[in-house]
Amino acid sequence: MKKRTIAYLITAAVLTLSVSGCGSEKTEEKAKQPAKQEPTKVILNEVAHSIFYAPMYAAIENGYFEDEGLDVTLNTGFGADKTMTAVLSGEADIGFMGSEASIYTYNEGANDYVVNFAQLTQRAGNFLVAREEMPDFSWDDLRGKKVLGGRKGGMPQMVFEYILRQNGIDPAKDVEINQSIDFGSTAAAFSEDDSDFTVEFEPHATSLEAAGKGHVVASLGTDSGYVPYTAFCAKQSYIKKNPEIIQKFTNALQKGMNFVRAHSPEEIAEVIAPQFKETDLDTIATIVTRYYDQDTWKNNLVFEEESFELLQDILEDSGELKNRVPYKDLVTTTFAEKAKKN
């Protein structure tokens, strides 16, 4: 009996040591595992909040930035000048705007100027809205008319003027363009004033139609052709110091681009809907379809030299560019080229 008792005690002691040993091994293994890294915070300032930028919102809502270890805070500048100021001052890490702003700051002699690293849109994203339906609209219909336009020197206004000139219309003589209204307020102004036309981004163009205050008669994106309309940029110093962040950011954007090109407007609308809570799902889908049909979004984010030179042609044509700038100084394709291979 004593022998059995001793045997039981020895067995119990061995089991206890084994269990405690396993526990200590697990504790040691857990201690060896690297601690989960906190996501890197990135402040992004966009020029406007528009469905035109659907791939970016798809990347946000689908968690692609989080997958890359980034915690992105999105702010809206309401104008390229304000977005550029936010980037240059350090208030924002990355800016998203028309690349004309980067050319302006370079020519103004900024020491730590911004460099474009990813192009999102390849068409203009605004539409010409008239008071009445015009099924047989032609650009000649603008002669002698009043138009609510955009900020002088901004891409929306310059592309509008570019189209006018392409159609033999002198923006300074043949059309009365009002450029005194703040960006984002032209739709409200059009509802109240006596202008014949207004140039609007979405969702404002569709909202005017829904309210019976206007009718879309032309797409500037279709009529201007392929234009490098908007791109992501950051200061030279930020890119040099944080190449990993820029690469991860670009990777997430490419995933958003891939998603948009692989899904229907209705599916895209469902994903980006949280970004546009004041717009119903059917309207978002309608707007996405408009942009989809005019081939707004690129296959990749590479900002090619040919596109950059076309942008400078438009700036020169508008009288906004005195000196052309080197493509290699203001554009890097390193991150976009790598992202498109993933």
Q: What domains are defined for the chain? A: 40-123+227-341 (3.40.190.10), 127-224 (3.40.190.10)
- Cα-based torsion angle of the residue sequence 253, 256, 258, 264 in order, rounded to the nearest 10 degrees: -160
For residue range 172-223, list pLDDT tens digits in order.
999 999 998 876 789 999 998 899 999 998 888 999 999 999 999 999 999 9
Contacts of 162-168 with C-beta under 8 Å, sequence gap 24+, read 162/224, 162/314, 162/317, 162/318, 163/139, 163/220, 163/223, 163/224, 164/139, 165/317, 166/223, 166/224, 167/138, 167/139, 167/140
Listed in sequence order, the residues at least 6 apart from 251 whose beta carbon sits closer than 8 Å to its beta carbon are: 64, 68, 338, 339, 342
Cα torsion through 27, 32, 35, 36, rounded to 10: -90
Q: Beta-carbon neighbour count of residue 134 at 10 Å?
A: 15
Residue 80 has pLDDT above 70, yes or no: yes
pLDDT number for residue 338: 98
State CA 311 to chain mean position distance: 18
Residues 105-143: pLDDT tens digits?
Answer: 999 999 999 999 999 999 999 999 999 999 999 999 999
pLDDT in tens, 167-185: 999 999 999 999 988 767 8
pLDDT at 254 over 50: yes
181 contact partners, CB below 8 Å, separation of at least 6: 148, 189
Q: Are 272 and 283 a contacting pair, CB within 8 Å?
A: no
